[in-house]
Structure 1
Amino acid sequence: MRIHHVTAALGSLAAAAALALATTAPAHARTGAVSDAPARAAADCPQGYVCFWSEPDFGGEMRAAQNPQHDCEATPVQPARSVYNHGSDSRTFSSKPRCSVRVGSLEPGGSARSIEVSSWQ
């Protein structure tokens, strides 16, 4: 899994760090149900889609989107608190509407377990 940070402004540095931290489970959480969350997300998210959950660790309501309809669009869950990219392209995520504050991007197969994003492209 590779995460590329894209910072649009100084204030987004903290958001980018949050995305990097969100994808790394602490050592004590690598056993049991919490560590199974990314595997569960991969199984639940249809191939070719990006899936968004309303809660961290791929909990709560899930919505899948295949491709953004526009250059930038709102996430189907507002805000999305975890994301799994089961598509074939890298996707960029932002913490604000209209992709104004970029948090980072996820390569295919990448996930963010605990994040807050509102738009993507």
Structure 2
Amino acid sequence: MKVKSYKIEDILVIEPQEKFLTGDDIKELEDKFAEAYSAGAYKIIMDFSRTELIYSAFISVLLEYSQKLRQKEGRIKFANPGLEVKKIVEVTHLGQIFEIYPDLEKAVESFKKEN
């Protein structure tokens, strides 16, 4: 999996470049989260603009790092989820854990309002 990441002020945006995020993609994502956590990046937006489907192993990584970030008063927010990702979020009740935004700008804005 190719993962693009960049910062908008103090917010790290992680943008997977694959349509389908499977168990094979876990290591790269874990590395990105570990690197961000070590660097003190506790505000993260997962930009799903290129992603059509996420699998359970990927969700497990998101949940694990969400817990770690909350201990540091940080969080992961979702931006640009497509129809299938929205369905998965709804069925798995991930919307109770992760804030979901229709686009990157609104997700960034939500972090800025928290400051």
Q: TM-score w.r.t. structure 2 length?
A: 0.30
Q: Which has the higher contact order (CA 8 A, sep 6+)?
A: 1
Q: Normalised by the size of structure 1, how large is the TM-score?
A: 0.29
